[in-house]
Structure 1
Amino acid sequence: MIDHTGPALTSPDHHAWLRLQARGLLDFARKTMVAGRGAGWLTVDGQVDDTQAIHTWITARMVHAFSLGAILGDAHAREIAQEGLDALRSGPLRDSEHDGWFASIPVTAGAGEVDSTKSAYAHAFVVLAASSARVAGLSGAQELLTQGLAILEDRFFDAGTGLHVDEWDASWSVLDDYRGVNANMHAVEALLAAGDVTGDPVWHERALGIAKTVALQWAAPNGWRIPEHFSPSWEPLLEFNDDRRADPFKPYGATVGHGIEWARLLLHLDATFPGQHPWLQESARSLYSRAIADGWRRSTAGHMGFVYTTGWGGEPIVETRMHWVPAEALAAASALFTATSAPFYAKDYEQWLAHVERFFVDEAHGSWHHELDTANRPSGTVWPGKPDIYHAIGAFLTPTVPLSPTLASALAAQTSGR
């Protein structure tokens, strides 16, 4: 187990320890970039897995992570972030004919198929990456941010609903019938960051509108379990993927980690609009409480941990433990403590940190195991390897900054002494 001063959320020593862990994640992932193409899917020991595609969402998340490292003064992280940013701007992930970004390309040119799908999920991460890169002062970041926001606005945003549609074909000719909350959740994060770096309030307002729909129209009437999947007219599809319950992006039922993640995002919004919308903090507390009550439980194998999904009555569906769930639990507990000063959130944080240190942190190879089985042993049925460091680095850095502005801007303000 890692030795550190202690998880007191107000302790400067603990904040220093968290920053050190973040740097360790960057060290693990330094081989992520494939020259001229983007960020590869990493193996358990931090090498690029040449059996996996290069994804836009992983590339963007790694640009975001290494931009955070650049803001913290890591010159090598700056170089890696710039390489990834350049790949997003002009590499083969970018569709030079129709604009936007393909879902994925093969690691080696011509050695596999291009997935030419255009997804809101991936494009939201491009906006987040560009926002963080601009804060870090990377070349071309503003251009990428302008392009990413324009595509998110023109191709995915539906002004009639205030939400983003999910998926187009390569030529933007065929819109898939599926509508989903996951892409909209990450759009909220991206739009908050974009609003912070551009100063344009429209992006913050848009994020607020999405959150209001998800929290008050869908989560609250459903016992604070968030419906994830919808028809083209935004009718909930509560039985969607009943035959593919462990899908990595569209699992059946309520996704515990998303309830936790939304709780944190609502607190960032609350800090962005201080005192204006009491429902934000109230909803954040309800979402977190429901997700923890449903998700933190003893498995059928007798071990405590967070389940991946539950049914609509809170019963566990997929008990496999994904690393991003306790990562989000750490960030959300720290955010709730910052927002409320309630000591039980600090105690939750200590519990989640102890769990992560004991079972998820891979002291032999670095980073976190991305998946555990029901006995808390490393597994890889849904997430083989350690694809990226986005959730883990957020878990370590979020407790060290205020709730607003968003992470890159807040880190920059701290490091500049403002």
Structure 2
Amino acid sequence: MAEPLPSLMLPRSSWIRASSHRKWLHEQGVRLLDFSKPSRMEKGFVALDNRGHPTPGSDVDTILTARMTHVYAVAGNRGFPGCLPLARHGVTSLLGPLRDAEYGGWFTAPGKSNDGRKQAYLHAFISLAASSAVVARVEGAQQLLDEALSVWERRFWSEEEGVFRESFARDWSDEENYRGANANMHSVEACMAVADVTGNPVWRQRALRITERFMHTYAKAMDYAVPEHFDRNWILLRDFNKDKPTDDLRPYGMTPGHFLEWSHLLLKLEAAFLRNEGEAPSWLFEDSVGLFEMGMRAGWERDGAPGVLYTVDFSLNPVVHVRPHWCQAEALTAAAALLKRTGNVRYEKWYRTLWDYVDMYMIDRELGGWRQELDQNNRSSEVVYAGKADLYHAWQSTLAPLLPLAPGFATASAALDS
């Protein structure tokens, strides 16, 4: 049973307290869920174009399938019609055509056994999806969770380093000479969810170890600007992907949206430890505040127009000026988390400012969904992200303000209306 909405610290005038704002969040969330339903294909889920139609020629995508499974499991468990069948379809797809029956683990798409790598980023989302589906009592979810955790723990977790390894060849040979903040960030989210669902505290301890290395060691040393790319000896790769600055998972430089995403994950990890262990490291809160401040300083309105931009270099100079939707969603979630944690009206101001920005520029009232990316003049753009493939970030930002910081997303949302 989750705690009720943690409102004691919220200012009386907070939007999060207002029933009208909460109704608006609910309506926006349902709208997003409905827009993405056509992404269901025979073997999983596929990316949608700007009009909400399957993108011609695109393959079913395993990361997208895992994210859709997670979202629709949570939404279905809250009583939204049409969502649990989609979650069941996701679980079936992940247990079937997307899984490598010979070597274990998951392909990036059906039949893509020769496309290169088994990725930690992907397996974190499969573990998250499976845990959410277990909470929603989706058929096959426990089998998926058992298999996902076996692979994720045995193949990817490095007990010596306290992080997840990045990728391998299909047969688990040829470990990549890389350690990445992005895959490990999403692993923190998944570890907390898995700890709630399984009751095994080792997953929460792993989330803490990851966070301590990437945030309390490396990011803190850089005034909470988050370095993303390292080799296996933990040497910072400052020029990594300099020739691919618009890469969608490992762009050159640093990503302010990730500073903000880490910020709220640290608060959720603090709350998880307090809830389950009775104590938490004080640095989790301190680092969360530092990450939010640096994220907004490095990302917001850097070129004269509102919005959190994509990337900056190591001097915090803008590199890619586009405004991805997920950066705004994570900034919203972080502002809401800090507001609930502190009651500081500064975070209320940011929360309102960010929702005003999303409402004015990102919500597409003509074609549906959110525009996935805007240019530096806040016009539609497709430099990094084409179409409207992603539901996960935007939808979670409509629900996260209403949830306690712990337990995890699926567990807390299941008890929200009870």
1:55-106: CA deviations, max 9, x gaps? 211100000111121022023111111111110011x211011111012237
Q: Which amino acid aligns with 1:369?
A: R
Instruction: Name the counterpart of 2:411.
Output: 409
Mapped to 1, the partners of 2:297 and 2:326 lie a distance apart of 18
1:11 corresponds to 2:18: yes
Instruction: Name the counterpart of 2:8.
Output: none
Instruction: Name the counterpart of 2:257.
Output: 257
Pairing partner for 1:292 from 265, 289, 296:
296
1:42-66: CA deviations, max 9, x gaps? 1112121133232211100000111
1:52 corresponds to 2:58: yes
Q: 1:317 is paired with a residue of what secondary structure? A: strand
Instruction: Name the counterpart of 1:361.
Output: 363
1:178-216: CA deviations, max 9, x gaps? 221111000000010011111111111111111111111
TM-score, reference length from structure 2: 0.93
Instruction: Name the counterpart of 2:81.
Output: 75
Q: 1:29 is paired with a residue of what secondary structure? A: helix
Mapped to 2, the partners of 1:145 and 1:287 lie a distance apart of 32
Mapped to 1, the partners of 2:388 and 2:414 lie a distance apart of 28
Instruction: Name the counterpart of 1:191.
Output: 191
Mapped to 1, the partners of 2:34 and 2:65 lie a distance apart of 17
1:231 corresponds to 2:236: no
Instruction: Name the counterpart of 1:267.
Output: 267
Pairing partner for 1:25 from 32, 48, 59:
32
Q: Give, in angstroms, the shift of residue 115 of structure 1.
A: 2.7
Q: Which amino acid aligns with 1:216?
A: H
Q: Which amino acid aligns with 2:237?
A: L
Conserved in 2, the CA contact under 8 Å of 1:261 and 1:329? Answer: yes
Q: What is the root-mean-square deviation of aligned Cα atoms in Å?
A: 1.5
Q: Give, in angstroms, the shift of residue 19 of structure 1.
A: 1.7
Q: Give, in angstroms, the shift of residue 375 of structure 1.
A: 0.8
Mapped to 2, the partners of 1:21 and 1:177 lie a distance apart of 42
Instruction: Name the counterpart of 2:282.
Output: 278
Mapped to 2, the partners of 1:148 and 1:27 lie a distance apart of 28
Pairing partner for 1:313 from 312, 315, 321:
315
The aligned runs of 1:2-401 (5 Å cut-off) are: 8-35=15-42, 37-90=43-96, 92-105=97-110, 115-274=115-274, 275-299=279-303, 302-401=304-403
Q: Which amino acid aligns with 1:105?
A: P
Q: Give, in angstroms, the shift of residue 114 of structure 1.
A: 5.6
Conserved in 2, the CA contact under 8 Å of 1:307 and 1:318? Answer: yes
Q: 2:160 is paired with a residue of what secondary structure? A: coil
Q: Which amino acid aligns with 1:321?
A: R
Listed as ranges, the gaps of 5+ residues in structure 2 are 1-12
CA distance change for structure 1 residues 295 and 317 in 2, over 3 Å: closer, same or farther? Answer: same
Mapped to 2, the partners of 1:68 and 1:133 lie a distance apart of 7
Listed as ranges, the gaps of 5+ residues in structure 1 are 1-5, 107-111
1:106-152: CA deviations, max 9, x gaps? 7xxxxx88635210000000001011111111011111111111111
Q: Give, in angstroms, the shift of residue 8 of structure 1.
A: 0.5
Q: 1:52 is paired with a residue of what secondary structure? A: coil
1:309-333: CA deviations, max 9, x gaps? 1111221111111110000011110
Instruction: Name the counterpart of 2:9.
Output: none
Count the aligned residue pairs.
402
Q: 2:411 is paired with a residue of what secondary structure? A: helix
Q: Which amino acid aligns with 1:18?
A: L
Q: Give, in angstroms, the shift of residue 298 of structure 1.
A: 4.3
**Higher RCO structure (Cα 8 Å, ≥6 apart):** 2
Instruction: Name the counterpart of 1:3.
Output: none
State percent identity of aligned pairs: 39
**Deviating 4+ runs (over 4 angstroms):** none
Q: Give, in angstroms, the shift of residue 7 of structure 1.
A: 6.9
Moved more, 341-350 or 42-51: 42-51
Mapped to 1, the partners of 2:261 and 2:391 lie a distance apart of 16
CA distance change for structure 1 residues 113 and 271 in 2, over 3 Å: closer, same or farther? Answer: closer
Instruction: Name the counterpart of 1:109.
Output: none
Moved more, 389-398 or 97-106: 97-106
Conserved in 2, the CA contact under 8 Å of 1:82 and 1:138? Answer: yes
